[in-house]
């Protein structure tokens, strides 16, 4: 890390504004870097795979995530959109009792049924859309979505409750998906070498709740399907952080969402880019002057 | 309305994807229209007021909204981000009891304290940031944010739980804020006339809960501070819909957030553009062929 104080300077001049809840607001050069990075990733998806950009909404239907038992695998990460009962009398009683504590905490209100989940990963929107469909030819999709993962503690840019994830997804026969993932691994390796960003690849597992009780985690340990691109500033200031991941789902989503290729469940894979974490990597390596950025 | 079936065609070919929860996903021409419209609004903010774009996060601190008693005024609209207790044993007991009903509904979990609110209006982020500050000269700010307002029912593009709001805000002395709002009203009127979009201006009030019990609603009726730009396709297919609003807050936010101009609370005003509603207006008036769009 050649520029350990660059983020501090951005925080001080307000290019990055820190929310204690684990979020950032961006403007000026920080927003410029965010946009430049996303153009690189979208460019790869568009040029190499013909994927057009999409805008997906904030909430996913809980019923769709039920198909993959998301809540049982990641209950500690999930964020749910809670709204008040539609009954005006229930609302009036809640307000009369004082809805908010002096420190700002909101008392749990009388709730309307919860039928949605705040997007935990951008690509789930695509599996929902293609549920029950036959995927005749390899299909490439991309979106940048705000994703939500509750953590025990947060850090500006690297560990956020809500963050921006650019994902590129391939649905198709297993060989096409594997070629897609290998292609992206090679592209990422060449890009990091070209701009001299200190990264390494490592196999990883998803952050399951009670992992040793979960057959899916055990399967991921036995036969790794997730690789991460780890940025390490090398100064001990922060732990290495995953700025991208490559995930081979085999037919997991194909089976869960009834997506078929011929008479088989379709395979899928996705590549994810955590944009704020890439900002951290560029900032720590090249500093906050836009003229020094290699993107 | 010259193109009543345009939206239906977009829904069928997937340019607009409808979520029953009151949300849309956009791609292809629909995303193109969304981006073109936002460029027009951002262009006005940048060219006429020197405002640079910003990216604000999804959640606002509940304590900040407590300063304006948001929860008491709009409890029926609010969406809260709910996460599970940090206690693994509480999570295990919840999972053991079955977290999800067969129709997908999620049972209310053991909850961590709620300290945030999903952004109900983009401009609140600016009042939070400038809280306690002195605003020496008129200050112009803009952002496009996803905003959340729970409704009793939803409609594609025009009535959404989560939607995109471009806001332009002025903080400063009362005369500067009023000139800013008058300037935007003239700009909007000229733009609608130029592209021949059937709109009219009308005074309006905010959608308070139990409005007749709320002194703020009564004040808005007595001395109107909100104007809306209503699009009416004129075919009775849908009710007129507000595609933009102009709001003079007087010193309401200046007092609540301790923002001062000299030794007085600062005045503020904002102009909001509901991008999906503008899409509806353009689509209904000019159809779904991008070559026919006047933007």
**pLDDT at residue B1, as a whole number:** 56
**pLDDT at residue B158, as a whole number:** 96
**In this complex, do A81 and B83 lie within 8 Å of one another by their Cβ atoms?**
no
* Average pLDDT over every residue of A164-186: 98
**pLDDT at residue B159, as a whole number:** 96
**pLDDT at residue B220, as a whole number:** 87
- The pair of three-digit structure tokens given for residue B99, joined into one six-digit string: 């977290």
CA distances from B184 to B70, B189, B229, B244 (A): 27, 8, 11, 10
Interface of B with A in 3-42 (CB under 8 A): 14, 17, 19-21, 23-28, 31, 34
Instruction: Tell me phi and psi for residue A280, to 5 degrees.
Output: -60, -45
* Average pLDDT over every residue of B172-189: 98
pLDDT single digits (tens) A119-157 = 999 999 999 999 999 999 999 999 999 999 999 999 999
* Average pLDDT over every residue of B164-193: 98
**pLDDT at residue A222, as a whole number:** 82
Closest Cα of chain A to B171: distance in Å?
18
Look at residue A84 and tell me whether its pLDDT is greater than 60.
yes
Residue A10's contacts (CB-CB under 8 Å, 6 or more residues apart) are A16, A29, A30, A283, A288
Residue B166's closest CA among B66, B290, B88, B55?
A: B55
Pairing state of beta strands B139-148 and B162-172?
A: antiparallel
pTM: 0.96
Instruction: List B54's β-bridge partners, or say none.
Output: A27
**In this complex, do B31 and A17 lie within 8 Å of one another by their Cβ atoms?**
no
* Average pLDDT over every residue of A276-281: 98
* Average pLDDT over every residue of B105-133: 97
Average pLDDT value for chain A = 95
Q: How confident is the model at residue B262 (pLDDT cuts 50, 70, 90)?
A: very high
Three-state SS annotation for chain B: CCCCCHHHHHHHHCCEEEECCCEEEEEHHHHHHHHHHHHHHHHHHHHHHCCCCEECCCEEEHHHHHCCCHHHHCCCCCEEEEEECCCHHHHHHHHHCCCECCCCCECCCCECCECEEECCCCCHHHHHHCCCCECCCCEEEEEEEEEECCCCCCECCCECCEEEEEEEEEEECHHHHHHHHHHHHHHHHHHHHHHCCCEEEEEECCCCCCHHHCHHHHHHHHCCCEEEEEECCCCCCCCCEEEEEEEECCCHHHHHCCCEECCEECEEEEEEEEHHHHHHHHHHHHCCCHHHCCC
Place of tokens 């500006």: A156
Comparison of pLDDT for A220 and A118, the residue scoring more: A118
* Average pLDDT over every residue of A73-90: 97
Q: How confident is the model at residue B14 (pLDDT cuts 50, 70, 90)?
A: very high
- The pair of three-digit structure tokens given for residue A164, joined into one six-digit string: 């921006």
Residue A262 DSSP one-character state: T
Look at residue A106 and tell me whether its pLDDT is greater than 90.
yes
- Residue length of chain B: 295
**Residues of chain A neighbouring B57 (CB-CB closer than 8 A):** 19, 23-25, 162
Pairing state of beta strands A264-265 and A260-261?
A: antiparallel
CA distance A18 to B165: 22
A133 at B interface, C-beta within 8 A: no
CB A120 within 8 A of CB A62: no
Q: Return the CATH superfamily for domain A6-78+120-292.
A: Bira Bifunctional Protein; Domain 2 (3.30.930.10)
Look at residue A237 and tell me whether its pLDDT is greater than 70.
no
pLDDT single digits (tens) A15-46 = 999 999 999 999 999 999 999 999 999 999 99
The fraction of chain A above a pLDDT of 90, given in percent, is 90
CB B118 within 8 A of CB B139: no
**pLDDT at residue A221, as a whole number:** 84
Q: How confident is the model at residue B73 (pLDDT cuts 50, 70, 90)?
A: very high
Residue A279's closest CA among A42, A26, A2?
A: A26
**First-last CA distance in chain B:** 18
**pLDDT at residue A270, as a whole number:** 98
- The pair of three-digit structure tokens given for residue A57, joined into one six-digit string: 């909404």
CB A63 within 8 A of CB A115: yes
Q: How confident is the model at residue A52 (pLDDT cuts 50, 70, 90)?
A: very high
* Average pLDDT over every residue of A238-265: 95
Instruction: List A226's β-bridge partners, or say none.
Output: A204, A247
Chain B: residue whose CA lies nearest to A66: B104
What is the ipTM, given to two decimal places?
Answer: 0.95
Between A92-106, A229-243, B183-197, the lowest mean confidence (pLDDT) is in A229-243
**pLDDT at residue B215, as a whole number:** 87
* Average pLDDT over every residue of A187-216: 94
Between A77-86, A227-236, B127-136, B242-251, the lowest mean confidence (pLDDT) is in A227-236
Instruction: List A166's β-bridge partners, or say none.
Output: A144, A273
CA distance A76 to A98: 28
Comparison of pLDDT for B1 and B40, the residue scoring more: B40
**pLDDT at residue A239, as a whole number:** 80
Between A20-34, A198-212, A215-229, B59-73, the lowest mean confidence (pLDDT) is in A215-229
**pLDDT at residue A1, as a whole number:** 56
A74 at B interface, C-beta within 8 A: no
**pLDDT at residue A37, as a whole number:** 98
The fraction of chain B above a pLDDT of 90, given in percent, is 91
B131 at A interface, C-beta within 8 A: no
**pLDDT at residue B189, as a whole number:** 98
- The pair of three-digit structure tokens given for residue A153, joined into one six-digit string: 């503690």
* Average pLDDT over every residue of B239-248: 95
* Average pLDDT over every residue of A74-82: 97
- The pair of three-digit structure tokens given for residue A110, joined into one six-digit string: 């009388």
Would you put residue B28 in left (φ > 0), alpha (ψ -120 to 50) or beta?
left
Q: How confident is the model at residue A161 (pLDDT cuts 50, 70, 90)?
A: very high
CA distance A25 to A213: 38
Domain ranges of chain A: 6-78+120-292
Look at residue B276 and tell me whether its pLDDT is greater than 90.
yes
CB A139 within 8 A of CB A45: no
Mutation target for B interface from A24, A51, A106: give the one with most B CBs within 10 A.
Answer: A106
* Average pLDDT over every residue of A251-275: 97
CB A83 within 8 A of CB A112: yes
Chain A: residue whose CA lies nearest to B97: A72
Look at residue B219 and tell me whether its pLDDT is greater than 90.
no
Interface of A with B in 153-172 (CB under 8 A): 161-162
**pLDDT at residue B40, as a whole number:** 98
CA distance B281 to B272: 15
Instruction: Tell me phi and psi for residue A78, to 5 degrees.
Output: -70, 145
**In this complex, do A106 and B71 lie within 8 Å of one another by their Cβ atoms?**
yes
Comparison of pLDDT for B1 and B194, the residue scoring more: B194
Look at residue A236 and tell me whether its pLDDT is greater than 80.
no
**In this complex, do A19 and B115 lie within 8 Å of one another by their Cβ atoms?**
no
Look at residue A10 and tell me whether its pLDDT is greater than 60.
yes
Residue B210's closest CA among A119, A92, A209, A252?
A: A92
B63 at A interface, C-beta within 8 A: yes
Closest Cα of chain A to B291: distance in Å?
19
Q: How confident is the model at residue B233 (pLDDT cuts 50, 70, 90)?
A: confident
CB A27 within 8 A of CB B55: yes
**pLDDT at residue A233, as a whole number:** 80
E-only strand ranges, A115-156: 116-118, 139-148
Look at residue A238 and tell me whether its pLDDT is greater than 90.
no
CA distance A84 to A78: 19
**Residues of chain A neighbouring B84 (CB-CB closer than 8 A):** 75-76, 78, 150
**pLDDT at residue A187, as a whole number:** 97
Closest Cα of chain A to B107: distance in Å?
7
Residue B271's closest CA among B155, B157, B144, B163?
A: B144
């Amino acid at each position: 890390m050649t520029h350990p104080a660059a983020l501090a300077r951005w925080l001080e001049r307000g290019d990055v504004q820190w929310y204690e809840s684990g979020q950032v607001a961006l403007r000026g050069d920080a927003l410029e870097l965010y946009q430049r990075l996303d153009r690189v990733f979208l460019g790869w998806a568009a040029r190499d795979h013909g994927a057009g950009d999409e805008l997906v909404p904030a909430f996913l239907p809980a019923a769709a995530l039920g198909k993959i038992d998301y809540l049982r695998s990641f209950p500690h990460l999930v964020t749910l959109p809670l709204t008040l009962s539609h009954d005006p009398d229930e609302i009036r009683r809640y307000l009369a009792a004082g809805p908010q504590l002096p420190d700002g905490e909101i008392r749990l209100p009388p709730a309307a049924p919860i039928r949605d989940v705040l997007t935990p990963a951008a690509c789930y929107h695509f599996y929902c859309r293609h549920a029950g469909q036959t995927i005749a030819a390899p299909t490439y999709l991309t979106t940048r979505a705000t994703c939500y993962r509750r953590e025990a503690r947060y850090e500006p840019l690297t560990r956020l409750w809500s963050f921006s994830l650019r994902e590129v997804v391939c649905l198709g026969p297993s060989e096409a998906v594997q070629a897609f993932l290998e292609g992206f691994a090679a592209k990422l390796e060449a890009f990091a070498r070209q701009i001299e960003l200190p990264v390494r690849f490592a196999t990883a597992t998803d952050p399951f709740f009670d992992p040793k009780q979960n057959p899916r985690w055990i399967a991921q340990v036995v036969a790794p399907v997730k690789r991460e691109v780890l940025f390490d500033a090398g100064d001990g200031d922060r732990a290495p952080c995953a700025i991208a991941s490559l995930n081979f789902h085999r037919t997991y989503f194909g089976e869960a969402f009834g997506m078929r290729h011929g008479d088989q469940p379709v395979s899928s894979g996705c590549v994810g880019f955590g944009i704020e974490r890439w900002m951290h990597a560029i900032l720590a390596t090249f500093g906050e002057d836009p003229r020094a950025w290699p993107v």
